[in-house]
Amino acid sequence: MILCDSNVYKSIQEKFILAQPGDTIYLPKGKVNIERSLWGDNLNNVMILGYGIDSTILSFDNQIEGAEGIKIINSSNVTLKNFTIENSKGDLIKVEDTNGINFINIKAQWTGGPLEINGSYALYPVKSKNVLIDSCIAIGASDAGIYVGQSENIIVKNSEAFYNVAGIEIENSIFADVFNNYAHDNSGGILIFDLPDLLVKRGGDVRVFNNRVINNNISNFAPEGNIVAKVPAGTGIMILATSNVEIFDNYISNNKTANTSIVSYFITEEEISDSLYYPYPTSIYLYDNSYYRDKQFPSFSFKQPIGFLLAYNFWRNVPDIIYDGITDTNIIQNNFVKDEYRICIKNNKNADFVNLDLGNNFNNMSQDLAPYDCIHEKIKKVKYPFEK
């Protein structure tokens, strides 16, 4: 059943506007064609509930007003649960300046496949606190399927992301646990980024564990100019300029350019005008992961030329773990990186390694893991107060 009556939109939007603390907003059964963005402001302890991802579908195929499908701002303890949302012009669900946002059993998708004209983000909480994404599916985003940015206290678990440029991305955020997810058939599987020119300057205390990160090899279809357009197709897990990151107990397989990469912002070749931005990855602990990679070429693209370099040096046997080797001279003491800032790589199964020595034009590339044989103190588990 497809509901087309504009009164359906009016009814849902009215419930958003009039919702009181403790209310549940029930979305209708069937596929609902909605032509305008739904928005909620100053919601408090409200649940937005469908009848299941196959039973409640909010379709924005014919959207004539607004960019987002759903936008929620300035709210607290909001739960979105048990529905599908699809084909908005911009982001499917954007949440901003909210303390306590739960996405549970949500499917957010663009149904036409991985296209540049798709919206940037499927699930998009930003500048928020206490973010839970559980048992969700994100498909087709031209930036990131599941994205959490400039936020604090985050759990992303039991979810699936595919046909996105980035499957799951944690950006300029602190205290995040990303686990039990399946990121496959994206350009990049899981990205942990710190970028310049944002209000929140540094992320960290991020744990990525017990995920399956497999076959993230589709062509990067991000619009020109987006920073994620720099991510090479064939990226499994990428840590870019973030500190205090722990990657463990993941199965990382057949991401043809780099199963795992640890890189500075300089690899993007973009200028840095933000004087407060720190462009180096430090205090990274990569351990107890299982790797597999068929013999295959990395991706070849003039937009992401790293693949040409890797193929030139390694042909079809690209190492699983790639470090760009660019180090902040301020953390070096007696010719060694201070212990608390080291890149530590230990006990990974079937994993080859290379330090690209990018800062010296690749002159002294090394596959010696001995300088990275160290451990860091474990990052604490995220404690989440609003889980439903």
- For residue 1, the model assigns a pLDDT of 46
Q: Where are the domains of the chain?
A: 91-372
Instruction: Give the pLDDT confidence of 344-369 residue by residue, as tens digits.
Output: 999 999 999 999 998 888 888 899 99
Q: What is the DSSP letter of 264?
A: -
- For residue 264, the model assigns a pLDDT of 95
- For residue 216, the model assigns a pLDDT of 97
CB within 8 Å of 44: residues ≥ 6 apart: 21, 75, 76, 77
Q: Which residues of the chain have pLDDT under 70?
A: 1-6, 302-305, 307, 386-388
Residue type, 57: I
State the Cα torsion 360-322-326-285 to the nearest 10°.
Answer: -150
Q: What is the DSSP letter of 9?
A: H
- For residue 10, the model assigns a pLDDT of 94
- Residue 16 tokens read as 């958003």
What pTM did the predictor assign? Answer: 0.95
Which helix (H) or strand (E) segment holds residue 31: the answer is: strand 30-33
